[in-house]
Amino acid sequence: DIQMTQSPSVLSASVGDRVTLSCKASQNINKNLDWYQQKLGEAPKLLIYFTNNLQTGIPSRFSGSGSGTDYTLTISSLQPEDVATYFCFQYNSGWTFGGGTKLELK
């Protein structure tokens, strides 16, 4: 089974900061990776699909990149409404979520 490791588990940043969240797969997942945002008390929301494609309605400050085993979600200028937990998700072989990164405001 493919394991997905996200880092850091908790990230504190200030409004306007450029923020980078990482996700590492235990083997090559061929860019078959999504990113989800989950705010407290809400269902998850799809942000990015297939590594770097922005889902409809998602602000352009969110972007994704990566290949092989290493993937990144970047928020170019952090906004207060971006406080949430972010999960990566691989579907190259089976389906596996990462453990999540909780993003807080400093």
Q: Per rule CB under 8 A, is residue 5 in the interface with another protein? A: no
Cβ-based burial of 11 (10 A; exposed 0-12, middle 13-18, buried ≥19):
middle
x/- map, 24-63, another protein, by CB under 8 A: --------x-x-x-x----xxxx--xx----x--------
- Give yes or no for a cis peptide into 8 (omega within 30° of 0): yes
- Chain contacts with another protein (rule: CB under 8 A): 1, 32, 34, 36, 38, 43-46, 49-50, 55, 85, 87, 89, 91, 94-100
